[in-house]
Structure 1
Amino acid sequence: MCFSILVINIYGQKFYYGENGEKIYLKENKNLVLVKKDSKTLKSFGSNIKYELDDYLVIDKTTTTLKSLNENDSETYMLEAEDGTLQAETSTVIIKPKQNTSYKSILKLIETVYPVIEVDSLGSNGDIYFVRFNTENCIEISNAIWKTGLVVFSSPSFLMLEKTHNHLFYTQWALQNNGWTYSPSVPGIDIRAVEAWGISRGNNIKVAVIDDGVQLDHPDLQANIYMPANFAGGVSSGDGNPSAGNTHGTACAGIIAAVDNSIGMIGVAPDCKIIPIRDAYETSENSVRVTTSEIKVRALNYAWNTAKADVISCSWGGGSVDSAHGNELAKASTQGRGGKGCIIFFASGNDDEASIINPSTNANVLSIGAIGKCGQRVGTDACDYVGWGSNYGTGLALVAPGIDNITTNINSNYWSFGGTSAATPHVAGVAALVLSINPNLTKSEVVRILIDNARKLEGYTFNASGWNNEVGYGLVDAYASCLAATKLSISGNDYVCGEGLYSISNPLNLPVTSVSFSIINYSGMRPAMSQQSSISTRISSYEGQASQSFTLVARPRLSSGVYLEFTKQVYIESKLRYSGTWSQQTCLFYNVQHPAVSGTLSSTQSSYFLHQGCLATINFTNIEVGQPMRLSTYGAIPDYWNYNANTRTLLLRLPYGSGGIPYTFVSGPEGGCGERSITFFSVSNNGNLKNAIVEKKEVGIKEVKVYNLSGVLVYSNKQEMEKFNIYNTNLSNGVYIVVMNNGSEILTDKVLLKR
C-alpha cells in the first residue's frame, strides 16, 4: 500500500525572510509526519494519528514505523515555530510588491522554475497577493521572491496547528491582555506570563496555598497537587479538601498552578506543585473566615518545615497582630528552603483604605494590592465598576490583576474571581517561575528581582526608590523577572575605544546554543560588528567615525528554541586623528620623475599615499610638543624616517617596491583613546593586480584591513581565518589594498574587485 507525502524531505532548520530581511527559523519535528488524508491513510495509521485535519493527517512516528509508506516516498516533517506552534508548508506565498512594481513582473522572473497556478489579491487596494504554485514548497519559493528585491515582503503561507491552550485561557486577561477579551481594557496591562513561559513554567517548585481548602480532584489541579493537609477540621477526609461551598482556596490554587491540559484555564506557573493546606473554613455566606491562631501557626509550620514549600501564598488577613504567627513567619522567611528562606505573600485587603491589613504588614512578607484592566488601583479604575477598593499605603510591595480573573472553582467548575485575594496568587506564581530558573536564589534575592523588574504604571509618580503609595513598586512582571533570574547579561565595557569584545555572561550555565547581536539607536555611521563566536561579537568604529552612543542587542537562543533578549548601552569613542599638512618634494627615482605633491591632514582620514623614493615632510599641529612618535609594529620599516618632537615634524622616505605596504606611525598612550596613528602607502603599482581571494593557509590570517586608493579604511575584520575573499564584503567595484596580519608578519596585496 502506498501513500503520497506532500513535500520533499527537509533536513535541519529552515528559514524564511521577514519584512526587514531577518531570518525567521523553523525547526523540524521529526516525530510528526504530514500525510494526505483519505480512506486508506485513515485505516492504515489509525491510532497513530495525532491530529486529524480536513485534508491531512499528522502521524506520530514514535508510535509507528510508517511501514505502510512506500520506501520511495519521502517523509514530510512538521515544522515548529519559536513558540512551539506546529506548521507545514503549502503551495501558497503571500507577497506585497514594492511601490510601482507589478506582481506580474515579479512572478515572471521565477515562473519558469515555479509555475503559478492562481493569483488572488486582498482588499480594494490589491497590494497584497496570494500566489498559488504547483508545488507545496512555499519556503523555497518565498525566499526566491524575496531575493528579487522587488517586494516589501514575501511570506510563506503555512498550514498552522495553532495552540488552543485551554478554552478559558483567552479570558485570562491577567496573563495576556489583548484589549478585546474584556472591554474597556488597556492592551498590555498584564503580568506578561505568556512571554515568561518560554523561559520557565515553574518546574520543581512547590507553592503552599494556605486557605479554606482546595478541590484535590479538580481536573485542572489534580496533576499538580502535592502533600495536601487539613488543620481546620470539619472534613471527613481530612486531606485539605474544602467544606461544601468553600471556594476561595480552590480559586487561588488555580491562578497559581492550573495545569496546561487543554481542559480549562492555565495557572501562572502551570508546572509547579501546589501544597493545599486547609487552615480555615468559611461560613455558609462565604464571607467570614473561621480559624484560630494555633491552626494558623500549625498550617504555616507544615508549609515550610514539613512539606518544604518554596513559596507561600495567603489571600486573607485582618485582626490584631498575632505574635505566634509572626514568629512562624520569621522562621519560614529565614529557615525555610534550607536556610535560603521561603517567599511569602499576603493580600493587602479590600477595604479601599490607606493602610494594608495584617499579616501583610509583617516585615517578612510581601503585601500585594490589586489593579484593574486599565492599569489603575482597584477602586479608582474607571474600567472596573466594583464596590470595593484595594488597600494601599506604607508596606505595599507590588500589585497584580484583581478583577474578573477566571479560575478554578469547586465541583470541577470555573468562575470569575477578584480582590487582592486574586492578585496575591499571581505574584506567588511569578515567584515560582523565578525560583524554577535558579532555585539557589535567597528569599531577599527573589524579592529584589520582583521589585526591581516591576512595571511602573502610567498615571502614578514613583519616588527615588521606585515606590508609589497606591501601587507599591508597580505591576509584577513575570517575563522581566524571569530574564533577571537567568543572570544572563551582556559582558563588555560600557565605554569602547576603537573596538571592544562583547559576549553573553552565563553564570548559571543555562543551555544557550547561540547568540545573535545587533546594533540599534545609533546616530550617524553604524559601528562595525563582526561575530567572533557563537556567543560573542566584536564592535569597532570606522576610520574617522564620530564618537557616539548606541544600544547593543543580544538574543540568546536556549536549547528549547526560545529566544531571550538583552540590551546594553555602549559609548564608542573613535581614535583621534592628526591635523596638519604634508608635502613631498620632486625627485627622480629608478628612472621615474615624481612630481611634488602636498595636502592637508584630515580629521576623517588616517591613511595617505606618497611616491616611492621622495622625501616627505609631515607637520603636525595637534600633537603635544615634546611628545615622541614611534613606528608601529603593525607595518613595515621605511627607507628613512625621523621625528622632531620639538618642531612636531616627521621626515619620511618610502623604499622601492613598497606598493601596498603600510608604514604606520603612532603617538600617545598605547591602545588608549588618546592614541593617534597615521599610515602611509606608496602610490606605485607593483606588477599585476592580485586575485580577489587572498589565501595564507600555512600561517592563518588573524586580522584583515582593506583600504581604498584614497587611503581610507573601508573594511576591517579581526576574526581568524584561512582565506579572505573580498567578494564576501559589501564593497563596491574598484581597486583596494588588502593588509593582513598573521601575528608575526604583515602581508599585503592590491586587489581588483569586479563583480
Structure 2
Amino acid sequence: MREKILKSLILFTVISTFYTTIAQINIVPGRIIVEFMPGVILLPQEATKVPINKQNIWDTKILEACNKIKAEEIEKAFPSAIAGQTSILSPITNEIVNVSDLSQYFIIKFDNSVSVKDALREFLVLSNVKQVTPDIYPILDGEPNDPYFVKQWHLKNRVNPMFDINMVPAWDLTKGDNIKIAIIDGGVRHDHPDLYPHIWFGAGSEIGYDTTTSAGRHGTYVAGCAAEVTNNSVGGAGVGWNSLIMPRIGYTTVEKANDIYDAALNGAKVINNSWHTHDDDPNLSTLQTAVQNAFNLGAVITGSMGNDPPSHNTYPAAFNNYVIACGALLKVNNGDTVYARPDQNTGSFIDVTVPGDTIWTTAPRFDWFPDGMAPFGMTSSAAPQVAGVAALLFAVNPSLTNTQIMNIIKQTARLFPGWETEPNKYGTGLVIPIRQFF
C-alpha cells in the first residue's frame, strides 16, 4: 500500500512538472514520446510505423495502456537509428564516432479526445517504459513575445495558416536589421514606445506629428505595420522586425514627390506610400519624375491601391515599372478564408495582395487606445507590409537590386483557386515571404 501511494505521488509530481515547466510551449495533441526497454516493440524490418496490435507489441500491459488512450499507431521517432548501434562512421569527418542508441524512442499516436496528461499517466507506471514525455511544438526563434502578436492574424493566422503572410519562418532567416523604410505620410508619432527605438533620427527624417487630424494620425498606423519594434514584450510585431523608420511629413502631391526623392537620396532602401492621387492631378508628371528618380537610385517603392472604387488608375501605385501596387484582403470567419476587399480600387496595374482587415498596429492616440495598439485596415495597411518584406529581402541578400526584389515579391506570390480569373483584384496573389528566400 505504501509503495503504491509513493508511486502515485511520484507520478503526480512528474506530470505536474511537465505542465508547469512547459506551460508556455505548445503541447502536441494526440501523441506522446515513449522510450521503451529494448525488445518490447517488434516492428517488421524496414517499417517505420505500424498499427498497434499484439503482433507488434508483446507486452500486454502496454497494449492495455494503448487501448485505454485509443492509440492507433506507433512510429519510430528516429527511423535512421539502429538498435544496439553505439558507433558509426561520420560522413562529415570520415572518422568512427560514438553515438547513443535512439532506436527505442517511439511516437504513440492516439485519439484527440484523450488528453496528453491522461496518456502520460497510463505509460509512466509501466515497467517496460524507460521514460515518457509529451511531444512539443518548440517556440521558433522568429516568433515574437509581443502581447498583441496573437491578434495579428496577417502575420500568423491561427484559424487558417494558408491565409497569412507567414512571417515566423521568414524571421528565422532575417530580421531586416537597419534597413531604412521611408514612410511618406503626414508624420509618425516618434515617441510611441513601440516605434521610438526604430525611428531614424538622421538625415532624411522629418520628426513631428499631429494627432488632431486623420492625415496626421495616418502615418503612425502605417509605420507600425512596416516596422514597429518587435520581440520587446510591448505592443505587437512589425513585418520588418529590426528595420528602421524614416518618417516624412508632406500633404500635397508635390510635397510627397519631394519626400520620395529626398528619402532615396538619404539612403531609404524602401519607400512606402499609403496614399494616392488620380489622372487629373496637374502635378502627376512631377510625381512620376520623383518616383522614377528614387527608383533609379535603387529604392523599392510600394504603393497602396486606394479605397475609392470603381476601377481607375491610382498613383503612385499605377507607375507600374517603378512601384509595387498593393491590394488588400478581407477576412471571413476570423480568417478561415479571405477575398479581395470590395471597397478597394482594382485595375490591371495591381501587383500583389496581403491582408488588409483588422490589422493591429501602433496607435497615434493613447487617450483612444491606452495600450498604444489599434486595429487598422484597407490598402493603407497592405503597402507597408510589403515594404517590410522588401526590407527583409535587402537584409538577407544585400546584393539584390530593387528590380530583382520587386520581381521576387511578385513572382513568388500565391494564387488561390478562383483568384486567377480576377487578376485586377489579386495581381499575382498573396505575398508569402518565406517562398522568396528559397
Q: TM-score, normalised by structure 2?
A: 0.67
Query: Are positions 1:125 and 2:101 aligned together?
Result: no
Q: Hey, what does 1:430 align to over in structure 2? A: 389
Aligned residue for 2:152? 172
* 1:297 Cα deviation from its structure 2 partner: 2.8
Tell me the CA shift for residue 333 of structure 1: 0.3
> Secondary structure of 1:333's partner?
helix
Residue 361 (structure 1) aligns with: 318
Report if the CA contact (8 A) 1:218-1:411 is conserved.
Answer: no
Q: Distance in 2 between matches of 1:224 and 1:56?
A: 34
Deviation at 1:212, TM superposition (A): 1.6
2: CA distance between counterparts of 1:247 and 1:209? Answer: 13
Q: What is the CA-CA distance between 1:451 and the residue it aligns to? A: 1.1
Whole-Å separation in 2 of the counterparts to 1:439 and 1:209: 21
Q: AA paired with 1:377?
A: A
Contact 1:106 1:145 survives alignment (8 Å): no
Shift of 1:187: 3.9
Instruction: Please state how far the C-alpha of 1:405 moved relative to its aligned partner.
Output: 0.6
Q: Percent identity?
A: 29
Deviation at 1:428, TM superposition (A): 0.8
Alignment counterpart, residue 177 of structure 2, candidates 203, 225, 235: 203
Task: Indicate whether 1:258 and 2:228 are aligned.
Answer: yes
Task: Give the alignment partner of residue 405 of structure 1, picking from 356, 359, 370.
Answer: 359
Partner SS, residue 400 of structure 1 = strand
* 1:377 partnered with 2:345: no
Instruction: Give the Cα–Cα distance (whole angstroms) in 1 for the partners of residues 158 and 245 of structure 2.
Output: 28
User: Counterpart amino acid of 1:331?
Assistant: N
Pair 94,241 (structure 1): closer, same or farther in 2 beyond 3 Å: farther
* Distance in 1, Cα, partners of 2:325 & 2:53: 60
Q: What 5-or-longer segments of structure 2 have no aligned partner?
A: 1-17, 42-50, 75-98, 111-130, 332-336, 367-371
1:161–1:316 CA distance, 2 compared to 1 (3 A): same
Asked whether 1:342 is paired with 2:308, we answer no
Distance (Å, rounded) in 2 between the aligned partners of 1:207 and 1:200: 16
Contact persistence 2:199–2:245 (CA under 8 A):
yes
Partner of 1:249: 219
1:157 aligns with 2:112: no
Aligned-partner Cα distance in 2 for 1:395–1:263? 37
Distance 1:169 1:327, change over 3 A: same
Match of 1:587 in 2: none
> Partner of 2:46 in structure 1?
none
Deviation of 1:410 after TM superposition, in Å, equals 1.5
Partners in 2 of 1:221 and 1:188 — Cα distance? 29
Per chain length, whose mean CA-contact separation is higher, i.e. which structure has more relative contact order (CA < 8 Å, sep 6+)? 2
- What secondary structure does 2:181 align onto? strand
Q: Matched residues in 2 for 1:424 and 1:122: separation?
A: 54
SS in 2 for 1:275: strand
Deviation at 1:146, TM superposition (A): 3.1
Q: CA deviation at 1:403?
A: 0.7
CA 1:371–1:128 in 2, change beyond 3 Å: closer, same or farther? same
CA separation of 1:361 and 1:400: change in aligned 2, threshold 3 A? same
Q: Distance in 2 between matches of 1:411 and 1:123?
A: 56
332, 336, 347: which is aligned to 2:294? 332
Q: Deviations over 1:1-22 (max 9, x none)?
A: xxxxxxxxxxxxxxxxxxxxxx
Which residue identity is paired with 2:290?
A: E
Change (3 A) 1:262 1:103: farther
Change (3 A) 1:204 1:152: same
Is the strand fraction higher in 1 or 2?
1
**CA distance in 2 between partners of 1:422 and 1:404 (Å):** 9
Q: Residues 70-219 of structure 1: matches in 2 within 5 Å?
A: 93-94=33-34, 98-101=51-54, 105=59, 125=70, 143=102, 145-146=104-105, 156-157=133-134, 162=139, 165-179=145-159, 186-219=160-193
Structure 1 residues 56 and 438, CA, compared in 2 at 3 Å: closer, same or farther?
Answer: closer
Aligned amino acid, residue 184 of structure 2: I
Which residue in 1 is equivalent to 2:6? none
Contact preservation (8 Å) 2:181, 2:391: yes
Distance 1:453 1:482 in 2: 10
Q: Deviations over 1:549-589 (max 9, x none)?
A: xxxxxxxxxxxxxxxxxxxxxxxxxxxxxxxxxxxxxxxxx
Q: What residue identity is the alignment partner of 2:413?
A: A
Q: Deviation per CA, 1:476-504: give whole Å up to 9, x if none.
A: 11111122xxxxxxxxxxxxxxxxxxxxx
Amino acid at match of 1:330: Q
Equivalent residue for 2:201?
A: 227
1:276 counterpart residue number: 247
1:239 aligns with 2:214: no
CA distance in 2, matches of 1:254, 1:106: 59
Deviation at 1:122, TM superposition (A): 9.4
Q: Show CA shifts across 1:702-728 (max 9, x none).
A: xxxxxxxxxxxxxxxxxxxxxxxxxxx
Post-superposition offset of 1:229:
8.0
- Aligned counterparts of 1:310 and 1:242: Cα–Cα separation in 2: 26
Question: In 1, Cα distance between the equivalents of 2:67 and 2:309?
Answer: 52
1:481 aligns with 2:429: no
TM-score, scaled to structure 1: 0.40
**1:178 shift after superposition:** 2.1
Partner amino acid, structure 2, of 1:358 = Y
Q: CA deviation at 1:242?
A: 3.5
Task: Give 1:393's match in structure 2, choosing from 347, 353, 374.
Answer: 347
The two structures, once aligned, show a CA RMSD in angstroms of: 3.8
User: How far did residue 330 of structure 1 move?
Assistant: 0.7
- Compared CA separation, residues 93 and 406, structure 1 to 2 (3 A): same
State the shift of 1:298 in Å. Answer: 2.7
Secondary structure of residue in 2 paired with 1:194: helix
CA separation in 2, counterparts of 1:213 and 1:251? Answer: 10
- AA of the residue aligned to 1:390: Q
Q: Return the match for 1:469 from 406, 416, 424.
A: 424
Shift of 1:127: 5.7
Matched position secondary structure for 1:368: strand
* CA distance in 1 between partners of 2:263 and 2:249 (Å): 11
Structure 2 counterpart SS, 1:214? coil
Contact 1:346 1:368 in 2 (8 A): yes
Among 399, 407, 415, the residue aligned to 1:440: 399
Contact 2:176 2:241 in 1 (8 A): yes
Moved more, 156-165 or 248-257: 156-165
Instruction: Provide the secondary structure at the position in 2 that maps to 1:474.
Output: coil
Distance 1:293 1:393, change over 3 A: closer
- 5 Å-filtered alignment, 1:54-73, equals none
Distance 2:203 2:184 in 1: 10
Are positions 1:414 and 2:377 aligned together? no
Q: Which residue of 1 aligns with 2:83?
A: none
What do residues 74-106 of structure 1 show as CA deviations (whole Å, max 9, x unaligned)?
xxxxxxxxxxx899xxxx945898421487818
Q: Give the whole-Å Cα distance in 1 for the aligned partners of 2:70 and 2:101.
A: 22
Cα shift readout 1:648-681 (whole Å, capped 9, x = no counterpart): xxxxxxxxxxxxxxxxxxxxxxxxxxxxxxxxxx
CA distance in 1 between partners of 2:204 and 2:179 (Å): 21
Pick aligned residue for 2:309 from 352, 356, 361: 352
Equivalent residue letter for 2:423: N
CA contact (8 A) 1:93 1:157 kept: yes
SS in 2 for 1:476: coil
Contact 1:176–1:188 under 8 Å retained in 2: no
Give the residue type in structure 2 aligned to 1:262.
S
Deviations 1:218-253, CA, capped at 9 Å, x for gaps: 22112111137899xxxxxx7233443532111111
Give the whole-Å Cα distance in 2 for the aligned partners of 1:254 and 1:54: 35
Which secondary structure does the structure 2 equivalent of 1:372 belong to? Answer: strand
Q: Give yes or no for the alignment of 1:267 onto 2:238.
A: yes
Whether the 8 Å contact between 1:242 and 1:278 is mirrored in structure 2 is no
Instruction: Give the Cα–Cα distance (whole angstroms) in 1 for the partners of residues 360 and 220 of structure 2.
Output: 12
DSSP-derived class of the 1:271 partner = coil
Corresponding residue number in structure 2 for 1:299: 259
Equivalent residue, structure 1, for 2:80:
none
Quick one: distance in 1 between partners of 2:411 and 2:403?
12
Note the C-alpha offset of 1:171. Answer: 1.2
**What is the one-letter code of the residue matched to 1:304?**
A
Report how far residue 429 of structure 1 moved: 0.9
Answer yes or no: is the 8 Å Cα contact 1:370–1:423 preserved in 2: yes
